[in-house]
Structure 1
């Protein structure tokens, strides 16, 4: 058969099966403190983790020390009193005989060895690293990639102590239950919009997937009650990255929506150098501020950080260069720079943060650093930086009170991605993660867009800096692009491993049907040259193939009722390739998911290609 077909198990199902297997093995019995059960990479996607299980006759605390290559690299954690001991092991080194020391409350000790495999090439090694163990201690710097690399965590020496081969997307945040929220690896809309978010324990277990009809991109925020702000869109209307939703943490249901088309004028108003009609706002960050009950949103393609009322969605203010905006909006919503110090507007910014005193921080990418094409600043002469603005919403005045990065010039310049973090007054992280050169020249466009042969001519770099009172206390450079950097500890008392199957929450919605069918003639079996692949997931059908640009393609599911889906073969020229890890090297490659919601029964799969109808030979039982 010319069509390849495969069924895919959801990672949550795979992990549950793996968990059942290792628990069954453990429950055969005979495991004690001196001879515990040890399982490396128990949840399949975190190779530098392990699990130790044993019982003691009396309740006791247990401390674990994962030995470093030197004493400063030791990672220690104390587990609460119990008889049944479930001990996650974090911070193993790759390709190493790791030594693990266990100690009971009575002083009894046991030392184990765990051998790990070599790190994959996609786990990048630092090209420059500088800090001290006294300063960085047992923290890890997590980075999530946008170029060919893997999500990984680096210790005080720049050694990798955690990574995952899963193609996670966008931001990685620790939430109140100690787990991580990160974008799924399941592509929903090209080039990088995924099905939603995973809630992930450091051990690699996925407890929940939060799915959204419009998919997920860029950022999320945990509210005080645990519900989640998630950035999304409504694809059928033809625009992207211009909506935010509030999602119920327990059910995955959408509780509230904010639609920026109801708040702001669209293309070409306020347009940055990367704006188009399809991606007019490009929302890449969201922050809730309890003091003002407001949302602050970063819109890369309007060079604007905006603030809206949480309840009503009404616009409060805009930080940005007012060039190109209607005068009535400039008068009402924009700030006027004041003060005698240096001041620069931010352009195509990322990662807006509201500080405790109301100041606004963001990463000012500075892409083009102008609103008018004739004034664009080329990358080789440009700069990116972390910046802190002080705003007076009564007088509508703004002053720049701090920045870092301008002094480093093009070396620190990122056209896209990046973040800042606030750890306290004078204590900041500035992550310039999208640095690149193409054929030796500093990139004027995101380097993640380069695939295939172009990769040979592309140099990727990422610079992560932590500053305290304007002194650089930490710097790491990696030869890849990373969306954001987050400093976290591996062990967290709230991140408690619980057994049982994870949950798939929310909905992907019903995939839009194509209603007008062209006249067709029979074409027989679909030609092999199209490279058609069909994958069946628990909640989706995945269609992949190769077509020339502009070919007319419809996927048909024919059962008691027929469903037709339009397959786009003309790719949009995305000017903000924020994550390039889903890109295919073949320009003809097409991937299209169909939600299984609303589909039940037996369906014959056929294709209409340029007015010929082809049989795939496949019948799906849904």
Structure 2
């Protein structure tokens, strides 16, 4: 009996050893959980779109109340700490790790609850270096940040920034279709990055997976990123728009509705769950019978499935023949059209009336007469708010396609539109001394070639980035007299008046902050603050005027200036300068990123 039992045990042991050996063979190269790791294995950049992310898989663990801390790289670095929603764990398939340092062996801690017990685990993980493409006129791998000042309570800030340039390798549309109409020939490798307040890059989007220059639907500049109510990143890109998680998981990719083309500048998620996109219209029949592709003059509303809900044709709503602002522009910097040879020159009336049709600033449908560069939505009266660079004005337009008000200089508006121009007043409501282009003996000024206009629900105001080109509908004697500013207005829609309540940049930065194109100013409710991005400062060489432009560390380097102010103050709580990495690589926009809100 004893011998049988021993024999049975030996046979069973041999069988188990055989099974284990066979299982090891089946396991092959599948990832294994590392030593001293209580959860699962780690996946680098799980979706291929965000190289400074990772995923700690769960290996069948059921955890909750997760907090992640990516530790600082040194004593001057900034740790990133955020909470992860329980459902987000299942959506991502593990614990999402955001904010790894590039080309560095990172340390991060995952704290969580399991089985009623609080647990914590520390991990080490190397992340690759930054790669946002290479250009022939490039001196650094990515834009570099210089931190001037950060108040302690703003140290946890993360700033998203994107840049707009084309690369010689990938911008096939630009190179092969140089005379193409509209924005179709505008294509470039996306440069989406997130910086911390130590000036370190903590996230970037893989431009080689999110952009395809050989595909009509996937080419184009990536612009107008906004954060959705669900905490995802949404932006427009050429002939469509995308939505992606901070971890790089592509939620959706949509083509534009069939009658529309050339999305750029703004992809705004709004309160009803839909999106407002700034686009153009193809094969547009004008009143004179000519067929053209329009330029940056249509707003469409689409739902989350990509279906068209409504559209605004600004050729019918506004006046495409108004030339007051167009005649005052610096011809060297017309947003995407940066032409150094024309810097400091103005277009003539003949230029803007007789220019070829296409993406050229000029009057009449089929030219870049309005150049809308931001869109906002006001649910209180179901209206949209538009910033127009080439009309140097901000508009509010109702659902029934009527102009409610115009914030801008009165010159050149006719008929019913002239009656919609707001009257500037002081804080007591007294009318200011103004002519058709400027106001006197006051700090009030209109916004000129503005680049964003967003309502501030908490304050009942409107913030606008005043780029400042064509100020007072003229060019100054000296280019160095130009300046840009962040400005806040209070509008009384019943009295049709506007009051200026705050500004920054005119006296504080002057020509150093002058940004002829792009930029943004936006209120931040979480810290009761205002974030401003002077995105193209130094485009023509700060302090040097025009003329001697070349690729070097001074005149060729565009500087983005990010500031954040406590509400109502003019001394910045944050100032970070970001120097471009390529010749004339202009910053486009910045946003404050809050990972705890985006990981729920």
- Which TM-score applies when normalising by structure 1? 0.67
Residue matched to 1:360: 462
Alpha-carbon RMSD across the aligned residues, in angstroms, is 3.1
Residue matched to 1:196: 240
Q: Is the 8 A contact 1:269 1:325 kept in 2?
A: no
Evaluate the alpha carbon distance shift between residue 270 and residue 317 of structure 1 in structure 2; reply closer, same or farther with a 3 A threshold: farther
Q: Is the 8 A contact 1:363 1:418 kept in 2?
A: yes
Q: Deviations over 1:339-386 (max 9, x none)?
A: 274111111001101222542220001102132x5x546431111001
Shift of 1:45: 2.4
Write out aligned runs for 1:159-558 (5 A): 159-166=200-207, 169-184=222-237, 194-212=238-256, 213-236=260-283, 237-249=292-304, 251-272=305-326, 273-274=328-329, 275-277=361-363, 278-310=367-399, 312-326=400-414, 329-330=417-418, 332-339=419-426, 341-356=442-457, 357-371=459-473, 373=474, 376=476, 378-407=478-507, 408-424=509-525, 427-438=529-540, 458-468=556-566, 469-470=568-569, 471-480=571-580, 481-492=586-597
SS in 2 for 1:406: coil
Distance 1:296 1:90 in 2: 34
Q: Is 1:73–2:78 an aligned residue pair?
A: yes
Distance 1:398 1:35 in 2: 58
| Count of residue pairs brought into register by the alignment | 453
Q: Is the 8 A contact 2:158 2:196 kept in 1?
A: yes
Distance 2:253 2:575 in 1: 34
SS in 2 for 1:410: helix
Q: Is 1:136–2:237 an aligned residue pair?
A: no
Structure with the bigger percentage of strand: 1
Distance 2:552 2:314 in 1: 36
Distance 2:154 2:244 in 1: 24
Q: Is the 8 A contact 1:270 1:322 kept in 2?
A: no
Residue matched to 2:174: none
Q: Is the 8 A contact 1:347 1:369 kept in 2?
A: yes
Evaluate the alpha carbon distance shift between residue 444 and residue 434 of structure 1 in structure 2; reply closer, same or farther with a 3 A threshold: farther
Distance 2:228 2:262 in 1: 20
SS in 2 for 1:429: strand
Q: Deviations over 1:87-137 (max 9, x none)?
A: 1110100111101223342344332211122334342111343214x3224
Q: Is the 8 A contact 1:219 1:284 kept in 2?
A: yes
Q: Is the 8 A contact 1:270 1:303 kept in 2?
A: no
Shift of 1:226: 0.9
Evaluate the alpha carbon distance shift between residue 325 and residue 104 of structure 1 in structure 2; reply closer, same or farther with a 3 A threshold: closer
Residue matched to 1:102: 110
Distance 1:364 1:99 in 2: 42
Unmatched 5+ stretches in structure 1: 1-23, 185-193, 496-622
Give the greater-gyration-radius structure (CA): 2
Distance 1:238 1:81 in 2: 48
Evaluate the alpha carbon distance shift between residue 427 and residue 79 of structure 1 in structure 2; reply closer, same or farther with a 3 A threshold: closer
Q: Is the 8 A contact 1:128 1:476 kept in 2?
A: yes
1:88 paired residue among 91, 96, 115: 96
Unmatched 5+ stretches in structure 2: 1-26, 132-139, 167-189, 212-220, 284-291, 330-360, 427-431, 433-441, 581-585
SS in 1 for 2:563: strand
Bigger RCO (CA 8 Å, 6+ sep): 1
Q: Is the 8 A contact 2:224 2:236 kept in 1?
A: yes
Evaluate the alpha carbon distance shift between residue 104 and residue 286 of structure 1 in structure 2; reply closer, same or farther with a 3 A threshold: closer
Distance 2:222 2:477 in 1: 30
Q: Is the 8 A contact 2:146 2:199 kept in 1?
A: no
Q: Is the 8 A contact 2:515 2:539 kept in 1?
A: no
Residue matched to 2:46: 42
Evaluate the alpha carbon distance shift between residue 225 and residue 131 of structure 1 in structure 2; reply closer, same or farther with a 3 A threshold: same
- Which TM-score applies when normalising by structure 2? 0.69
Residue matched to 2:127: 116
Shift of 1:73: 2.5
